[in-house]
Chain A
């Protein structure tokens, strides 16, 4: 057979094709609040856990959501749940971020760990720095594969519109697509 065995669309259409829509793949992750919790989990070693926690802690300041006031940060993460970030705004003001509450180890143990947070409106659920839901509780669990990957970094944008400038110029010709 030279053709696909099945063709599925999960977003584009109403699934009236002979389609088997499949959701996102899950992967196994380890979610821990403390080093001890990690080390006492079957299959974990002190070295793996210490590496993972250090990696997550190292990422924390860089990836955590940032606020210019403690009040705004605490509104999202709760009283006493924020700390000052090692950054300043361009005008020299302080920057705040939530405390790291735990860490997640991806399937490739060690290399893919990242910090986790808890928001005040849903304190039992673990969230990544880019606010994706991981799950509740600690230990080994299933999570969407994309969540287990390195997070995007929350930053600030200083300019926009520096791409896409050629397209309107070329559209003077009746072009349907910019491809070929």
Chain B
């Protein structure tokens, strides 16, 4: 489960990145101990004992000065070369890589598979095969980061960027957004789930036969609704979903309305259209374009269960 520094590695690149880290780390430790030891030794050995003593001038040692420039130069060039090689490998995906399309928006990740299957908040990948995540953003900058795979790539609106990896462990890991993107930046999480290749195929071709409200609950989490809306009645950023369905809402302009299905759909698709009294108007409008109509239905079904 990882070391003092690095988390456990679970991709073909992680070993290489870790050795790079430890190369830099040990060179740094040696230099650091050298500097601090010299500092401590000089400071103690030459501490001031007589107030009036003026020590003799020490003439510069040209050889030492040159060595101080030359040795770090060689060390850094060595480190640069290794870093450069690893970087190229991380940059160039194998041509056979399995490509998954990703769309980032405030504050969720949507993944689309080559067969059209769409999943929010979960990236399912096969073990032992190179996978390329080809991504763009709907709104602001985001960044796709899986610590265990040692990969990271900014996701930019109006541009495509990609990142590739080959998972080596059947397990699930966190995907973080690492480019600040607003209120729920820290809630913009996803899971990468590594399957055995045959299990991956099975997953890819299976439909979802769970009840609508259970699917809705998954969507509620995958779309990061839960970072602003509680299900226990407490206030986070937006109104709680507990007891929401059927209740009477009072808006900032003083009007009221019963929270029926139409209201819930409208609040999700056009969040700024009616703002509940005392709450800020901060919900991104992008949900209106990135959620599919049946997803909205499922989320509404889930909200209905929160009495």
Do A and B associate with each other? no
